């Protein structure tokens, strides 16, 4: 307790620096979930994608990033362990080490263009210091196992959905005698699905944190209303679209792809908002835990109020990470796995966001990164295995496998350094 009293200000300052570093890593690596397919399908340039993501990621992180959050991330650590109650500074050291370790791993992964899970990075780091520095009994191993299971669940579910969605686009629109006419006929219904799904992402993953008293049925009805409005907007917008015969001579589906391109701008904005509101917790959750322990003089609780300055720090970190280094992973997801057109990118984004909604409703642990990569793979599979770059895919899968142990190893090293310095 005397350690917290003596070094509390220094520890909190370090927590802010490490939390900002972790948020930077989230922005640099994870924002490609929202922007990669839009850039790869050439609907947006990287510069345009960064501008859109800066606005909507910041808005999502700051406005809907969480009034109350689980500060002991994902329920991995038991805050009532006798070791923690007797020495609360151990948890402070551990959370500091976890933030620094996860941020360091994200820096390495982003440098090589690997789209890894920020959730798994921070989870691996927390498991590492808790199991080694406190006790293996301090870790909820069933929770860790369920998170590890999402390595398979996330990409498989989203991949299957993307395969089905793009196959339906092929049968209803692309592989018909009049693809442009059918695009104008069926795209409004896809827009209904897009509006419903993205609204559900935002309502279930983001806006619930700001205290809106919405039941599940309220969310469904509101999402249906938004989807219906977007369908009407789509019908009106498509009535103004004229088939470009000259462009279609160069590329048969040129006019059709323009229709899907318009929708992808919307899905990119909405996904960025939902992502910012959800994944900022990976950076600010441990920071909020450290702040709570220091402010209360060593009292450890499972939940605590989220100060607005912490959300602001996380939001700014995400934006700077995206603007300075986000192009690396955007290029991997958008161009290196498989060639994306607006219709393919749309199928991937719709499927990935649908998977997030399904997971939210059923309580399945899920990674937004794994989800989108799986969706892009599903679109590629719909075109045949030859459309996929297997070398890039093997590197991505390998980076997924080593994320948890990498975070754990870094956290153990940093924990022991911090303990030696302050202990």
Residues 6+ apart with CB under 8 A from 189: 231
Q: Cα separation of 405 and 227, whole Å?
A: 42
Question: Does the structure show a pLDDT above 90 at 15?
Answer: yes
pLDDT in tens, 228-277: 998 998 888 778 777 877 877 777 778 888 888 877 887 787 777 777 77
Token digits for 124? 């691996």
Nearest to 388 by CA among 337, 335, 349: 337
Residue written as tokens 């496998």?
401
Q: What percent of the chain has pLDDT over 90?
A: 16
pLDDT in tens, 91-135: 899 999 999 999 999 999 888 888 888 888 888 898 998 888 788
pLDDT of residue 413: 94
Question: Does the structure show a pLDDT above 70 at 182?
Answer: yes
pLDDT of residue 326: 81
Please state the rounded mean pLDDT for residues 367-379.
Answer: 83
Please state the rounded mean pLDDT for residues 126-147.
Answer: 85
pLDDT of residue 68: 39
Residue of higher predicted confidence among 225 and 238: 225
Q: Cα separation of 103 and 335, whole Å?
A: 25
Rounded to an integer, what is the distance from CA 264 to the centroid of its chain?
17
Question: Does the structure show a pLDDT above 50 at 48?
Answer: yes
pLDDT of residue 207: 60
Please state the rounded mean pLDDT for residues 380-409.
Answer: 82
Task: Identify the DSSP state of 250.
Answer: H
Is 110:325 a contact under the CB 8 Å cutoff? yes
pLDDT of residue 72: 47
């Amino acid at each position: 307790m005397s350690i917290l009293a003596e070094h509390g200000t220094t520890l909190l300052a370090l927590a802010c620096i490490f939390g900002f570093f972790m948020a930077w890593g989230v922005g640099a690596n994870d924002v490609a979930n929202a922007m990669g397919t839009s850039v790869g399908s050439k609907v947006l340039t990287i510069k345009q994608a960064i501008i859109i993501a800066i606005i909507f990621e910041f808005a999502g992180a700051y406005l809907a990033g969480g009034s109350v959050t689980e500060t002991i991330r994902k329920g991995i650590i038991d805050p009532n362990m006798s070791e923690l109650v007797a020495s609360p500074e151990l948890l402070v050291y551990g959370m500091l080490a976890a933030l620094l370790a996860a941020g360091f791993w994200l820096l390495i992964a982003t440098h090589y263009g690997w789209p890894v899970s920020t959730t798994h990075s921070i989870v691996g780091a927390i498991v590492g210091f808790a199991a080694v520095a406190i006790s293996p009994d301090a870790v909820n191993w069933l929770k860790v196992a369920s998170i590890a299971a999402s390595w398979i669940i996330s990409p498989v579910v989203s991949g299957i959905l993307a395969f089905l969605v793009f196959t339906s686009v092929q049968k209803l629109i692309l592989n018909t005698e009049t693809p442009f006419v059918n695009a104008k006929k069926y795209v409004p219904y896809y827009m209904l699905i897009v509006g419903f799904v993205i609204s559900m992402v935002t309502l279930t993953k983001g806006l619930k944190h700001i205290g809106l008293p919405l039941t599940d049925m309220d969310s469904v009805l509101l999402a249906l209303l938004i989807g219906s409005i977007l369908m009407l907007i789509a019908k009106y917008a498509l009535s103004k679209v004229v088939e470009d015969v000259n462009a279609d001579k160069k590329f048969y589906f040129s006019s059709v792809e323009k229709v899907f391109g318009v929708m992808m701008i919307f899905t990119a904005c909405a996904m960025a908002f939902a992502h910012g509101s959800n994944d900022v917790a990976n950076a600010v959750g441990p920071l909020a835990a450290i702040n709570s322990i220091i402010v209360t003089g060593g009292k450890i609780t499972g939940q605590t109020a989220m100060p607005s300055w912490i959300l602001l720090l996380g939001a700014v970190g995400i934006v700077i990470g995206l603007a300075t280094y986000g192009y690396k992973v955007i290029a991997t997801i958008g161009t290196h796995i498989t060639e994306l057109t607006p219709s393919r990118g749309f199928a991937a984004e719709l499927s990935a966001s649908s998977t997030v909604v399904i997971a939210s409703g059923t309580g399945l642990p899920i990674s937004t990164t794994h989800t989108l990569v799986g969706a892009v793979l599903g679109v590629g599979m719909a075109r045949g295995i030859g459309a996929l770059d297997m070398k890039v895919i093997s590197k991505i899968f390998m980076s997924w496998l080593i994320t948890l142990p990498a975070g754990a190893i870094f956290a153990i090293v940093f924990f022991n350094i911090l303990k030696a310095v302050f202990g």
